[in-house]
Structure 1
Amino acid sequence: MIKVVAIVGPTAVGKSALGLKLAKKFNGEIISGDSMQIYRNLDIGTAKDSPQELTEVPHHLVDICDADQRYTVKDFQAKAKTIITDLSADNKLPLVVGGTGFYLSSLVNNLNLGGKKDDNKYRQELVELEKSGRIDKLQAILKDEDPLAYQKIDIENTRRLIRAIEVIRSTGKSITEQDNGDKWADFYLIGLTDDRPKLYQRINDRVDKMVQMGLLDEAKYVYNSRDKFPQAKNGIGYKELFPYFEGQASLESCLDEIKKNSRHFAKRQFTYFRNQMDVDWYNISDDKNYQTDIETNILKFLGGQND
């Protein structure tokens, strides 16, 4: 069976750096499991690897869409499965790196996301509601058609709302009760975590570094195109700066909001992966030899075929 290693965990914990090291050691290639790194010209706020790092190891599902294009978990699942299958056939180790929980779950659990690829029967109606800002209407539809999902998913996330509605309409089953499909690959999930104060400091430091790298210009680009960027405009690191561009808030307060929302996001990520997936966790502060331990466990997972 195809062997896949995935690196998960909260934002800013060091997933990308570990992915690069493991890819070099195990003849691997990286598949981004991040829902925002697919977009071209959005590099700083999405924390993409540097241009040099992107050339050191082949990366997939990075810079594949313009920001005005829609991209769904179903798109990710289909593309990632094809890439993983091709890499395995070439004796390359597929390394999925990213913190978008539902993306990883769609792969690991082979979720049936419903509908045909070209089935737009319901999508246009839902997308129009999203464009008009009627999240309340989307929430009402989901509450009526799938009350279980309404209680369990993030109902402030329009993409999750739309996907949950599509799945219940296409399959007749709640997205929270999807049966796993036939197992198509064997996954080893590596989870990185850190003591909370240290993780939060890493997040704060990364936001400061992003500002130095030009985050404001990138966020202004998103702000100026927000009517055309339905998904990117809601990204953490961009939306918090809109009040600054409008003269409604100070830069300092907006940056504090980015840091706060990033910390909250990190907490949600950890909770999701801890509760929803079978992850082998490593605390990067408690275990000074965590990278060596990870490499040893990958060798066991692969059956010892790598040195």
Structure 2
Amino acid sequence: MKKTVIAIVGPTAVGKTKLSIEIAKRFDAEIISGDSMQVYRGMDIGTAKIEEREMEAIPHHLIDIKEPNEAYSAADFKNHVQACIESIGAIGKLPIIVGGSGLYIQAALFDYNFSPARRDERITKRLENERAELGIKHLYDRLRAIDPEQAEKIHPNNYRRVIRALEIYEITGLKMSQLQKEQTVESPYNVIFIGLEMERELLYNRINQRVDKMINDGLVEEVRSLYEKGYEACGSMKAIGYKEMIPYIQGKQPFEEAVENLKRNSRRYAKRQYTWFRNKMNIRWYSINPNTYHEVFTKILDDLAGLLEDK
């Protein structure tokens, strides 16, 4: 028998956290964070991490399990989520995964088989040096010659993914596109995907308001603290909410410009999230607005009750 998992997805600021609490209370569930940045301690405001009072005593998993200078990959996330699903199911509760990191959620729930190639720091460093000396176009052109299918999926400026694809090819002799075609298309779980969507202008207004609240709650002080601890060059600090504040902290950019960049990048990220989920998964979508949360959440809970009876 496959274990049943509820996955709540959708763009940032749409209301996923609020819905997850309502579902957890109704169906005796525990919540797994599906946000790749909420694993980091001290990165609370910029990741919109749920506060303890908001949890309503419902256990939450995969929050605050790493330091900002520790690496955390989709493969790590997959292993952690699957362990959580097992442990939550073992005590007779329902696992709910909630978040907006699409690749991570897909990796965990569809048992994505990552390349067996471990990172080779020597190869990575050599490719990084080539990028610094010859530019990303040089590496991207090489990838396009080796694996044109994968190159089409990667933006030419996304040097991390370009370098990783080249690294895997050098270590294994296999193209990344070839490895991806071998992935599992059927989930080992009975997954009920619930998607929340909102009219774009409303969503963008909510995102802008969320950023203003983050600023009022102390986002600049949070980023400054991490910066002063020496975390500036860490991958975690490339996250939206952190990278935009660093130029201001360094005195290289006006505060208003940094805030506007954060709002713009958050809106763009929301658009990418929505597109990704629309194209990748079979999701039951529910359209909401700030005035219909109660009505729509009631319908979702009723729909879930019927779906869970069928499982």
Residue of structure 1 equivalent to 2:154: 153
Code of the aligned partner of 1:233: M
* Partner in structure 2 of residue 198 of structure 1: 202
**Conserved 8 A contact 1:68-1:228:** no
Aligned to 1:241: 245
Normalising by structure 2, we get a TM-score of 0.87
Tell me the residue number matched to 1:125. 123
Indicate the larger mover: 20-29 or 269-278: 20-29
Describe how 1:58-207 pairs up with structure 2 within 5 A: 58-115=59-116, 119-120=118-119, 122-123=120-121, 125-126=123-124, 134=132, 136=136, 139=140, 142-154=143-155, 156-157=157-158, 160-161=161-162, 164-165=165-166, 170=172, 172-174=175-177, 176-180=180-184, 183-207=187-211
Distance across 1 between alignment mates of 2:69 and 2:201: 37
- Measure the CA separation in 1 of the matches of 2:210 and 2:102: 21
Alignment gaps of 5+ in structure 1 = none
> What's 2:287 paired with?
283
Q: Give the Cα separation in 2 of the matches to 1:146 and 1:47.
A: 38
Q: How many residues align?
A: 302
User: What percentage of aligned pairs have identical amino acids?
Assistant: 38
Structure 2 equivalent of residue 261 of structure 1: 265
The amino acid across from 2:224 in the alignment is: K
What SS does the aligned partner of 1:303 have?
helix
Unaligned runs of 5+ in 2: none
Q: Secondary structure at the match of 1:48?
A: coil
| 1:294 correspondence with 2:292 | no
Distance 1:183 1:194, change over 3 A: closer
Provide closer, same or farther for how the CA distance between residues 220 and 76 of structure 1 changes in structure 2, counting only shifts above 3 A: same
Question: What's the offset of the Cα at 1:254?
Answer: 0.7
Q: CA deviation at 1:153?
A: 3.4
Q: When the two structures are superposed, what TM-score results if normalisation uses the length of structure 1? A: 0.88
| Deviation string, structure 1 residues 108-164 (Cα, Å, up to 9, x no partner) | 322111217xx44x3553267569985827645644443322221355455544554
Matched, 1:22 2:23: yes
Residue 214 of structure 1 is aligned with which of 218, 222, 229?
218
The equivalent residue for 1:45 is 46
- Distance (whole Å) between structure 2 residues aligned to residue 183 and residue 150 of structure 1: 27
> 2: CA distance between counterparts of 1:70 and 1:84?
22
Match in the other structure for 2:35: 34
Alignment RMSD, CA only?
Answer: 2.7
Aligned equivalents of 1:138, 1:58: Cα separation in 2: 45
